[in-house]
Structure 1
Amino acid sequence: MKKDLKDFVYIFEATAGELAMLVGPLDENLRQIETAFDAKISRRGNNFRIAGAEAPKAFAVLQACAARVHAGEEISVNDVQMAVLSEQTGSSIDDDEAFMLKTRRAGLQPRTPNQKKYLRAIMQTDVVFGVGPAGTGKTYLAVAAAVDAYERDAVERIILTRPAIEAGERLGFLPGDLVQKVDPYLRPLYDALFDLFGFEKTQRLIEKQIIEIAPLAFMRGRTLNNAFVILDEAQNTTPEQMKMFLTRIGFGTRAVITGDATQVDLPKGVKSGLAHACNVLEDVRGISIVRFTTEDVVRHPLVGAIVRAYEKAEKAAEGAAQERREAARLSKDEKYGIEENDA
């Protein structure tokens, strides 16, 4: 291996299978690194050349990914993005503070400071709120923590639930019976379980009712003991539904509530139970609230840019609306002021 300031040559000594794992399908992993940094990666076989203003950072990410492949781990585009994020933010998880979760995915651990804070809160408190934009790993890490708790015999059951309201759809207009109506809303939870438990084991545990995935309405009237309970998409609950859910918690149960306060699909004028609960429960002992930002987004790099663009547009629209209200108020005051003077 040789290098100068902005030009690196890296020879990856590995099998053909390990090389394929490192670069990804159609070199997708390399393209992800290029997209994140001002660098160009070219390769011939197992010889890589990294050039550009941010070549050192791209090289560091490539080396980190190569080390994981050499260790026998499988890496995905998601893993590459988390390595990129770690390099961009300069954050890492120290070995003595690492959270190695016991799931089917070897080496699963938090990749940002807020993710680490989130998992620490889940381990140390009974009720945790994870609030923030899409792509920050709120739901996936919560499910991973649930799988870890079950595998370590810390809980007897895993219960995953969501409110069945989303993107303007209402159940009455959807085809099928109740189970068929709500199943699409719960699909992201199934996907996470399949990834972390494996398809066959997940199906087995569902059949044994060790894993339960159900709409929020099914929680009413129950007391949940010795369980790991996750309420996803909590921004679409009402304050009454949120209170109902939180009062289901029994002995030996942990609850994680996740949601994005900017993606509320409730009818106009209906207050979000997530925002309400975060305000009401902020200072209650035994409850943790972890707030994620766009810096924690670990999906495709465009997701972070999209989230930031929408936030900017929403703030601009809110500012314009405030200016219109202020102008209307001044106009009204001026009108009444003139009438009083005329009188």
Structure 2
Amino acid sequence: MQTQSTQFDFTGQKIYVGIDTHLKSWNVTVMMDPYYQKTFSQNANAQTLFNHLHENYPGGSYFSAYEAGFAGFMPHYRLMGLGIESIVVNPADIPTTGKEKVQKNDSRDSKKIARSLKNGELTPIYVPSLQTLADRSLVRLRKTIARDLAKTKTQIKSFLHCNGIDIPDDLSKENWTRKFIKWLIEIEIGPFRETLEGHLAKYHYFYAQKLAINRKVKMLSATPQYKDNMELLQSIPGVGYITAITFLTEIENIKRFKSLDRLCSFIGLVPSTNSSGENERIGEITPRGHRILRDILVEASWKAIGKDPALGATYSKLGHRMKPNKAIIRITKKILSRMRFVLNNQTRYELGYK
């Protein structure tokens, strides 16, 4: 018995794939010129998608895009490893119709991504190397542990206050010294003892974790990949090793920013604007940006104005005509300019450079 089958060949054709990622499933839309479109759901697996494309569109050139989010960059690496060209995009940068804004669902999201990819309307975000991602996760873990430790300290102080347990005058100004911890361990507080011991167990756990992660981050900052740039950044007043290693692991390559303005925009040190005709309104700092870098650079700027006379004088002048939170952003831009300069030129900062 003879059978008839049709084997399509898509050699030379571009296959555009929009992916809406979720924890256990992907909603996928495939588009081709001029009008072909297919939407389906599959498990969250790059190999499954490749198998579908290879079986249904053999020989084609595959191009995919998905939104940056909880899925991170691993789908990108796996898609690229299978021969599927992949980009990751900022959700805010995907062209969206009015209907798509009010009638949002997974199918529409994947169609929107595929359509924009096909039309050449998407700008990919920067994808760091796997090693940088691993280094970044280690530095971010340090921040998380430090926050957990600070929260636990606050909980202990609050517990003491709420239950009428006064801290002795000679310890009231102690900043979690061994003497203060010894007092917490030995204090007689009757039925509240068990609860306090629970809080102290958390404190000791997070404290030990912080010591361990600090050692690992110190070791990371001393590796050949970071050592020289760490020294350059720390030559700038106000920039300590945590600020430096955070900056290097979050940015990876400073040369991808062709100007200081682009770097400021990426971090979120630019104001929002609203222009209409001849009127232009400049608002507060845009909420869009890199919150981790923005926070740590602002913190470094507060330290810098106390260490660098020129920056201190500049901040004082700015303080006469604007609020402190706006003045410090100006200082942050100057700090960022210095960081970019020393990295691009591979030269230490000399006090007095503006």
Fold-level similarity (TM above 0.5): no
Structure of higher RCO (CA pairs closer than 8 Å, 6+ residues apart): 1
TM-score (norm 2): 0.26
TM-score (norm 1): 0.26
| Structure number with bigger Rg | 2
